[in-house]
Structure 1
Amino acid sequence: MGLDSRRDEDGNVLPAATYQALHAGDGSDGGYNTNVLMLIHIPAGGGPAIGISIPRDDWTTLPGAPDGNATGKIKQAYGYELDQTLRYIVNTEPGVSHDDAYQQARSAARQEEITTVSQFLGGVPINHFIEVTMAAFYDIAQAVQPIQVCLNETTSDTYSGADFHQGLQSLDASQALSFVRQRRDTSGSGVELTDLDRERREQAFIVALAYKLRHEDVLTNFPLVQHLIDTAKQDIALDSGFDLLSFAGDAQRFAGGGITFQTLPIVRYGVEDGQDVNIVDLAQIRSTTAALIAASDHPGTTASATPTTSGPAGGGTTTAGTGAGGSSAAKAPTGATNAGASTAESTAPSTTTTSAAQPLASGGIPCVN
């Protein structure tokens, strides 16, 4: 889960230079919405993993919502529980320090978000969690920069700081954060982006990162791996049973094409309680999730769960390739470079253009909106 908070894991403000690099305001901005929700299922038998993205604005039941708010956006479960638990501790346990109360509330909020997501998906057990803040993402990206990504169109956005040209390009840590945050184009170019395109960007970034880790032998560079693990321990919240070294081994397998990402479908955009939301078919969500997990557990079978997104899901021409389960790769779009990101070398990897509704497989660098 990825938080909207512009603070560190202890709730402290960040250095001014970090806020400048994040291009996301300061410590008073953001909050405790889980703006990124992704379930990663890793089969016990070593088969291909599946990453399931849950759009943050999906309207659903919130099991632990306070003050009689039984429904809300799925991302709101965390913040509601944090606020409710913190108020309860402050009012009933005056001897508890603010820092301890805050950490207890954060723990309760994580568990509530996990419970909400599990119920939303049909009771899927969630054994471990990773919680990432914007600052944590930036620190990890700094450790592995530059990272190559590919875009279908030239686009820029004053809100996220995005300024990207069409085609392959290498991003530094600050640009990488803009890449995964952008959900609009403010250049007047006519490029249309939605929140679902941002989900796709998040998937594409993980796939691109996995490609880098494999093809630059990062995972065999033990000092760098240890640095990444140390950074993760400092900046990222994990459950006590999460084994980072074991996960690093899984990441090596993912990098070679061992994971596919899928975004859960929405029926349409709507308005509930004055909020812009995604209206979903809960039965479709649960059947899609079950089929994707079953196909991951039994890779010899064919999943019939590729969802159809009825609402606007972002454009993009579908081309057979790694993202669509095909074998041929599309040529990267070409376009003039700008100062926002550097052009990839001529030895750049092959790319695959996919639409937001398609599965996105690891093993290459996907071109996305």
Structure 2
Amino acid sequence: PDEGGARSDTAMVVHVHEGHTEASVVSIPRDTLVTRPACADSTGATVPGARRAMFNTAYEAGGPACAVKTVEAMSGIRMDHYIEVDFTGFKKLIDELGGVEVTTTRAIKDTKSHLDLAPGTHTLDGEQSLALVRTRKSVGDGSDLGRIQLQQAFMKAFLAQVRSVGVFTSPTKLLGLADAATKAITPDSELDSVKELTGFARGLSGIGADKVHMITLPVVYDPRDPNRVVPLEARSQQVWAALRADRPVPASATRDAATGRADGVVR
């Protein structure tokens, strides 16, 4: 999701492994300091690159194309597609799906978003789902890294819900969701029709939620600014090298990286 055309709120790199039965997802914290390449802005003018720029400024500088270019520079991997979802589109997709069932292991009370969930199982509508994935101060240590853990747990619940309501086995449901998606997302030009989206979705239908492996890019808090994080270079390269080679990301890649201590709050 993005913040009304300003800076990207969440970025996930999805790699579908050969055979289309497993996927790896790498969340990039928005406050990660990176070397941002030069990009073209909405007018076609060149925005100079920058060192120690927050990752989410790439979207601000040149939209999704610049965010993709920045990920490619970081990873050495060509991105085949991108999908941009704004807050309104996110809510529409969840509502079209009929909500997403999540289980909270601890109470979540966010006075800013008015999200108030007791421990237990809930079916969240679009508004509640958006509040959950944006919650930060009310879980874990209140960090963006903790929020990423919530987002990853929600995405797994979303994928499980897609399968449980039979989207992949019902042409009518798949077409309905794809039709809603064309109005709710901004994809690259190869995914901008119902036909293309349904074909893309069918190619992912063999991947169960339990076969989607999610990690956060290995980072540590920046010694010069505790409100920012920097990649653990060797560990990050382990992540990107695994994806380039179509292998699972080794557990050693994320060892000793900073975390937000919100793991297990939602499942």
TM-score tier after normalising by the smaller chain length:
0.7 to 0.9
SS class of match (2:219): coil
Given that 1:182 and 1:198 are in contact with CA atoms closer than 8 Å, whether structure 2 keeps it comes out as yes
> What does residue 347 of structure 1 align with?
none
Q: How many residues align?
A: 256
**Pairing of 1:32-181 with structure 2 (within 5 A):** 32-64=6-38, 66=47, 69-81=50-62, 109-121=63-75, 123-181=76-134
From the superposition, tell whether residues 45 and 72 of structure 1 become closer, same or farther in structure 2 (CA, over 3 Å).
Answer: same
Residue identity opposite 1:173 in structure 2: G
Deviation digits for residues 285-342 of structure 1 (CA, Å, limit 9, x no counterpart): 1222222553xx356xx835440254352155xxxxxxxxxxxxxxxxxxxxxxxxxx
Q: Distance in 2 between matches of 1:67 and 1:125?
A: 21
Cα distance between partner residues in 2 of 1:139 and 1:114: 24
Aligned to 1:282: 233
- CA distance in 2: counterparts of 1:310 and 1:303, whole angstroms: 13
Partner of 2:255: 308
Letter in 2 for 1:284: R
Secondary structure in structure 1 of the residue aligned to 2:112: coil
What is the distance in 1 between the residues matched to 2:132 and 2:188?
28
Larger C-alpha radius of gyration, 1 or 2?
1
Note the alpha carbon deviations across 1:5-35, whole angstroms, 9 max, x for none: 1xxxxxxxxxxxxxxxxxxxxxxxxx52111
1:52–1:220 CA distance, 2 compared to 1 (3 A): same
Aligned partners of 2:126 and 2:134: how far apart in 1?
A: 13
Deviation at 1:258, TM superposition (A): 3.0
Whose strand proportion is higher, 1 or 2?
2
Determine if contact 2:149/2:262 at 8 Å carries over to the other structure.
Answer: no
C-alpha displacement of 1:182 = 0.2
Q: Is the 8 A contact 1:196 1:313 kept in 2?
A: yes
Change in Cα spacing, 1:197 to 1:150, as seen in structure 2 (3 Å) is farther
For residues 312 and 305 of structure 1, what CA distance do their matches in structure 2 show?
15
Q: CA deviation at 1:253?
A: 1.9
Is the aligned partner of 1:368 residue 2:263? Answer: no
**CA shift in 2, pair 1:116/1:278, >3 Å:** same
Q: Which runs of 5+ in 1 are unaligned?
A: 6-30, 82-108, 317-352, 354-366
Q: Give the aligned partner of residue 43 of structure 2.
A: none
SS at match of 2:179: helix
**Are the aligned partners of 1:219 and 1:225 in contact in 2 as well (CA < 8 Å)?**
yes
Task: Give, as a single letter, the amino acid of the residue that structure 2 aligns with 1:281.
Answer: L
Counterpart contact for 1:77–1:113, Cα < 8 Å = yes
Whole-angstrom distance in 2 between the partners of 1:47 and 1:221: 20
For 1:4, the equivalent position in structure 2 comes to 3
Q: Contact conserved, 1:153 with 1:191, CA < 8 A, in 2?
A: no
Query: 1:150 offset after TM fit, Å?
Result: 2.0
Question: Hey, what's the Cα distance between the residues in 1 that align with 2:34 and 2:148?
Answer: 18
Q: Residue 40 of structure 1 aligns to which amino acid in structure 2?
A: V
Aligned in 2, Cα 1:133/1:79: closer, same or farther, shift over 3 Å? same
Q: CA deviation at 1:76?
A: 0.6
Partner Cα distance (1:183, 1:36) in 2: 13
Counterpart residue number, 1:220: 169
Post-superposition offset of 1:256: 5.3
The residue matched to 1:231 in structure 2 has which SS? helix
Query: TM-score scaled by structure 1?
Result: 0.63
Instruction: Confirm or deny that 1:265 pairs with 2:239.
Output: no
1:130 Cα shift?
Answer: 0.4
Letter in 1 for 2:54: K
- Secondary structure, aligned partner of 2:103: strand
- Which ranges of structure 2 fall in alignment gaps of 5 or more residues? 40-46
Higher relative contact order (CA 8 A, sep 6+): 2
CA drift at 1:145 = 2.5
2:186 to 211, 227, 237: 237
User: Aligned letter for 1:114?
Assistant: V
Q: Deviations over 1:134-159 (max 9, x none)?
A: 01101101101221112231121122
SS at match of 1:237: strand
Question: Is residue 149 of structure 2 the alignment partner of residue 210 of structure 1?
Answer: no
Question: What is the letter of the counterpart of residue 206 of structure 2?
Answer: R
